[in-house]
Structure 1
């Protein structure tokens, strides 16, 4: 089953009151309104896109060790997935789908990291619960997300809804601001140029990891042709 099929099923169960957290009609209306307003804002259209230079970053992994994008790119193409946090079931489904695709990603010589505004403690929990073999990096105050054009502030009416779901973002992120990154996925070539970008204003919509594999193949093919021309 494709990732989006799982996401659609989760959304149907949540909105149908079949999960432990049962949203009221008013809460659902506010959540739909928040998504519609973010889509209408056009922010996703101004995020980093294919052909742009990827902002560099150095962020801590769940064990507090710094991870540099430059060091990762020295080894091969890099997939960067921005997600909201361990509290978001849609994000957890995406992380598991990326983990399932990891062998094919690594077989192509590419690396994979996920980036979230949550604390390293929550990233450690996310890695453990989702059985991930790739690192989750903690983006303090969503600064890297902002450099990619992904950070946005929750409207006041939505903050109350999130509190009702026990999604206390200031606690999860150790940041008083109620901000999140739009879910996004990038493939970055070894020269630091973004080869693929997918940014979703609607957090329930995410591309399948299988879309990444042809992009990595194309990067390797381009690199091979460049070597042939300079040989």
Structure 2
């Protein structure tokens, strides 16, 4: 009987370990697809308050952006570019929500530095990035950066930069996912897609 219990516990342990395994490379991720729904999770705001993501999305169509952190120069350029497209997107009836593994206090630094008007949320343990399927194992040279940015909450993963356009049910209508973190969607393409989805 003891042997059976040990075998069951061993199998459970293997199963849990397998679920926690992350892809080793950005190119190996398996993201949610168009038509699938964003999972319901609660993240932290710049003020360190709980924010239910699906409740926000239910209010209006959403441009959901995942970025690596405020320490990433390519991400900061992308966030600033999004700010330039914000008025057009707002006029089309969208909201912008940007999510990273950064802790709330790191988000605040990014928010103030880039003078952003849209919402930044903290996914320091990677609950949403992993559920969406865009998290991968961070290379060793990034681990000090992500540990510092997340206030010690994240020591192991990075999200692949991604932009999703969601309807108010949280369903993905468009996605742009770039394993090469240096490449980001242009404002022209993003606005054009947002317009076409509104028709």
**Alignment equivalent of 2:102, drawn from 106, 118, 123:** 118
**Alignment equivalent of 1:86, drawn from 70, 77, 81:** 70
**Alignment equivalent of 2:135, drawn from 151, 161, 165:** 151
**Unaligned ranges ≥5, structure 2:** 1-23
Asked if 2 retains the 8 angstrom alpha-carbon contact of 1:77 and 1:187, the reply is yes
Deviations 1:63-82 (A, max 9, x none): 12332232222322111100
- Normalized per residue, which structure has more strand? 2
User: Structure 1 residues 176 and 73, CA, compared in 2 at 3 Å: closer, same or farther?
Assistant: closer
Provide the aligned C-alpha RMSD in A: 1.8
Name the counterpart of 1:171.
148
- Normalized per residue, which structure has more helix? 1
Deviations 1:86-132 (A, max 9, x none): 11000000000000000001001111010000100000000011110
Distance 1:138 1:96 in 2: 18
Asked if 2 retains the 8 angstrom alpha-carbon contact of 1:96 and 1:130, the reply is yes
**Alignment equivalent of 1:142, drawn from 108, 111, 126:** 126
**Cα distance, 1:176 vs structure 2:** 5.2
**Cα distance, 1:172 vs structure 2:** 1.5
Asked if 2 retains the 8 angstrom alpha-carbon contact of 1:96 and 1:132, the reply is yes
Asked if 1 retains the 8 angstrom alpha-carbon contact of 2:92 and 2:194, the reply is yes
**Alignment equivalent of 1:196, drawn from 174, 181, 184:** 174
Distance 1:162 1:75 in 2: 36
Asked if 2 retains the 8 angstrom alpha-carbon contact of 1:48 and 1:197, the reply is no
Aligned pairs, how many? Answer: 175
Name the counterpart of 1:211.
189
**Cα distance, 1:154 vs structure 2:** 2.1
Name the counterpart of 1:18.
none
Distance 2:110 2:181 in 1: 18
Tell me which moved more, 58-67 or 212-221. 212-221
Distance 1:63 1:101 in 2: 25
Distance 2:154 2:196 in 1: 42
Distance 1:162 1:191 in 2: 35
TM-score of the pair, normalised by structure 1: 0.70
User: Structure 1 residues 176 and 183, CA, compared in 2 at 3 Å: closer, same or farther?
Assistant: closer
2:170 is aligned with 1:181:
no
Name the counterpart of 1:96.
80
Distance 1:56 1:216 in 2: 23
SS, match of residue 169 in structure 2: coil
Distance 1:138 1:172 in 2: 10
Distance 1:117 1:191 in 2: 24
